[in-house]
Amino acid sequence: MPKSNPKDQQLEPFREDPRGTTLSTDQGVPIPDTDTTLKAGERGPDLLEDFHFRERITHFDHEVIPERVVHARGSAAHGYFECTRAMGEFTKARFLAEAGKRTPVFVRFSQVVGNKGSADTVRDVRGFATKFYTEDGNYDLVGNNIPVFFIQDAIKFPDLVHAIKPEQDHHMPQASSAHDTFWDFISLMPESMHMIMWLMSDRAVVRSYRMMEGFGVNTYRFVNAAGKAFFVKFHWKPVLGVHSLAWDEAQKLGGRDADWLRRDLWEAIELGDFPTFDFGVQLIPEGEEDRFDFDVLDATKIWPEEEVPVQFCGRLVLDRNPDNFFAETEQVAFCPGNLVPGVDVSEDPLLQGRLFSYIDTQISRLGGPNFTEIPINRPLAPVHNYHRDAMHRQTINTGKANYFPNSIGDGQPAPADPARGFVSHPVPVTGTKIRARGPKFADHFSQAALFWNSMSEHEKKHIIRAFHFEIGKVTSPIIRQRMVDLIGNVSGELAALVAEGVNCTPPLEPKPAASKKASPALSQENTVRDTAFSRRIAVLAADGFDYEALERIRLAAQEAGAHTKVVAPTGRAIVAADGRELAPDVTLLTASSVQFDATLVLDGEESVAALVQRGPALHWVNETYAHCKALGGLGAGVVLLSAADIPEVEFEGEGVQCCLGVVTAPPGAFDEFMAAFLEAVAAHRHWEREEPAMRVPA
């Protein structure tokens, strides 16, 4: 009889539909009862022969796999990458070969430090990893939301992670860098100062995964069909702009909704507000890298966009949530060494170590070398090789030939044509074996100063306060002082301001600034601030509210791409002035202003009178103002703003009044009010009122 073809039996479905009509064991045996164990009598002991029970419990006992050492907490989504500009001049990578070409992707965002149970809104670096399912195999672009890193050489990575993780004697604090061991390490590692400036900035408290930049961090190579190479840095820029939480807001969200970033990503995709990023590259032709005052292989340095412009060539759209968090988000495995023809590594010493580390941890975490056969990691391109066996093998290989060269299997699979396959770019390698770095790696402070010089005034204040919080948590006076002295190498002014808040002595002889340069691209002040798309607006209302005004507000917000939710004192339906009832979306008991981008107080004298009597409503308004968000009062709604003692805001006058992101108007000026209010929402924050807001009791 002829042998059956395994493919005909569908032994390797790419994605098996888990839904069925009959309960069964893992072996496919139908099971009529899964609620009661097999016993020796109704009240007797369980029997060891109950294979169904043993299978269920055994599987359950082993459901939890080791979490990632870093980037343990993450969220992910499916989508596609569309090439918008053919890049054949620079790379033979086929996913960049033709404008309009689409490639499926899976993207995982993450926090770096905390474990899986930590909060989303902690001060931390965020991961931004993209798996491209290309026709030439899977390509992984593994990056962060900050373009530089703490260390220059991967050999220091264990020390960095040990220092920033909870201290080993008492295992505290969780998901925080504000403790002695971290700052002890940093104060002795001058190469970390540039990264520390980013970590203390607003970049480390992101508003949303949809509103943060992504960077490849390391330096790679593009190689074109002619063999010409270019050093390359990768960029993801969100179309909604780069926005952050206020620090007080981030801390409160950690308690109100520890899943804030995860929920935001999931809900945005479900609502059709698909996260979108423009993809760009910085390119330096091989042979021209020495003309810069930084080493292009140094991961603690950026390539200033004014010197090396970003060339945009693609767009990433995330349009589908995972079907199963564990199977996809938790089991996805990325590696910087997963490359395709046209993309190659460089001699970046941080990247070189990562090439080994990622694979090593995945073998440990996912149970062996066959993690590439897990559906989310499996390429769409065909796989043919001589890998065999090992734990969790899913592929059923046929035939005798499990070696190469062979004649038994007609020499198949055979090596690819070099013109089509991956060929490492030939780079001359000479030199003495030595543990050393290039001379430009020794400059640790000029780009840290560049970052400081590039910040707006409110961003500088946030950095100073972040240092006060972080270094202020350090119990050792010696470490605090050493850190202040190190900051003095960046800016004497900054060191003095930090010293004042952490009970240290400023540098006795302040050094001149390490750099006078600035880069506007580094400041979030220069990001997109002209769209209300996907913003969340809280509408405060109680019995006696104006129903018609609410309908018009909802329509105007919807036309701008924003979303409104009615916030009422309790969960019962509220009754409008005209007698119509409305079930609120959330209540003052279950929600907070920190979960919204803006607040609008609805018209209706009876409604506002009821809200004025409620402390949570007054606190809601105060908190919105304190976090510099758009705040609106329509008609009688102005009374609640006045009762909340919002400082330095003029409520008198006719027509629409706009002051520091606070918008008020009588009911008759509705259209003008909504236009001004949505403009205030689009601006995201109104940091110019931050100092007055410091006096607000919220």
Q: How many domains does the chain have?
A: 3
- Binned at pLDDT 50, 70 and 90, residue 502 comes out as very high
Evaluate if residue 650 carries a pLDDT over 60. no
Using CB atoms within 10 A of its CB, is residue 61 exposed (0-12), middle (13-18) or buried (19+)? exposed
Percentage of the chain modeled with pLDDT above 90: 82
Evaluate if residue 4 carries a pLDDT over 50. no
For residue 571, the enclosing domain spans: 536-693
Evaluate if residue 17 carries a pLDDT over 80. no
Evaluate if residue 9 carries a pLDDT over 60. no
For residue 432, what are the CA distances in angstroms to 321, 352, 427?
A: 51, 18, 16
In the predicted model, what is the mean pLDDT of residues 527-546? 97
Give the pTM: 0.93
Using CB atoms within 10 A of its CB, is residue 616 exposed (0-12), middle (13-18) or buried (19+)? middle
In the predicted model, what is the mean pLDDT of residues 208-222? 98
Q: Which of 373, 395, 429 is the last residue of a domain?
A: 373
Q: For the segment 58-98, what is each residue's pLDDT rounded down to a tens digit?
A: 888 888 889 999 999 999 999 999 999 999 999 999 999 99
Cα–Cα dist 296/308, whole Å: 11
Please report the pLDDT score of residue 612 as a whole number. 97
Q: For the segment 285-318, what is each residue's pLDDT rounded down to a tens digit?
A: 999 999 999 999 999 999 999 999 999 999 999 9
For residues 314 and 223, membership in a common domain is answered with yes
Q: For the segment 661-681, what is each residue's pLDDT rounded down to a tens digit?
A: 999 999 889 999 999 999 999
* Pair type for strands 563-568 and 586-587: parallel
For residues 518 and 540, membership in a common domain is answered with no
Q: Which of 500, 522, 544 is the last residue of a domain?
A: 522
Cα–Cα dist 200/468, whole Å: 10
Evaluate if residue 11 carries a pLDDT over 60. no
Please report the pLDDT score of residue 26 as a whole number. 85
The DSSP H or E segment spanning 138 is: strand 137-144
Active site residues: 71, 144
Helices (H), 91-192: 157-164, 180-187
Please report the pLDDT score of residue 6 as a whole number. 42
Evaluate if residue 619 carries a pLDDT over 50. yes
* Pair type for strands 598-601 and 536-540: parallel
In the predicted model, what is the mean pLDDT of residues 98-114? 97
CATH code of the domain in which 578 resides? 3.40.50.880
Number of Cα atoms under 13 Å in the Cβ half of residue 189: 23
Q: Is 2 helix (H, G, I), strand (E, B) or coil?
A: coil
For residues 175 and 122, membership in a common domain is answered with yes
Residue 505 is encoded by which pair of tokens? 């002595």
Find, among 318, 329, 377, the residue nearest to 133 by Cα: 377
Residue 119 in any domain: the answer is yes
Residue 586 is encoded by which pair of tokens? 């959330």
For residues 504 and 555, membership in a common domain is answered with no
The mean pLDDT of the chain is 93
Find, among 656, 655, 696, 649, the residue nearest to 679 by Cα: 656
Find, among 21, 22, 31, 20, the residue nearest to 55 by Cα: 31
Give the distance, in angstroms, between the CA of residue 513 and the centroid of all CA atoms in the same chain. 32
Please report the pLDDT score of residue 195 as a whole number. 98
Please report the pLDDT score of residue 10 as a whole number. 40
- Binned at pLDDT 50, 70 and 90, residue 508 comes out as confident
Lowest mean pLDDT among 206-215, 323-332, 389-398, 476-485: 389-398
For residues 542 and 510, membership in a common domain is answered with no
For residues 513 and 549, membership in a common domain is answered with no
Please report the pLDDT score of residue 429 as a whole number. 86
Q: Which of 469, 488, 522 is the last residue of a domain?
A: 522
Q: What is the DSSP letter of 325?
A: I
Find, among 636, 572, 635, 625, the residue nearest to 599 by Cα: 625
- 129 pairs with which residues across the strands? 108, 142
For residues 225 and 298, membership in a common domain is answered with yes
Residue 267 in any domain: the answer is yes
In sequence order, what are the residues at sequence separation of 6 or more whose Cβ sits closer than 8 angstroms to the Cβ of residue 601?
Answer: 539, 540, 608, 611, 621, 632, 633, 634, 637, 638, 640, 641
For residues 500 and 361, membership in a common domain is answered with no
Lowest mean pLDDT among 103-117, 150-164, 501-515: 501-515
Lowest mean pLDDT among 4-8, 400-404, 552-556: 4-8
Lowest mean pLDDT among 1-5, 190-194, 452-456: 1-5
Please report the pLDDT score of residue 20 as a whole number. 62
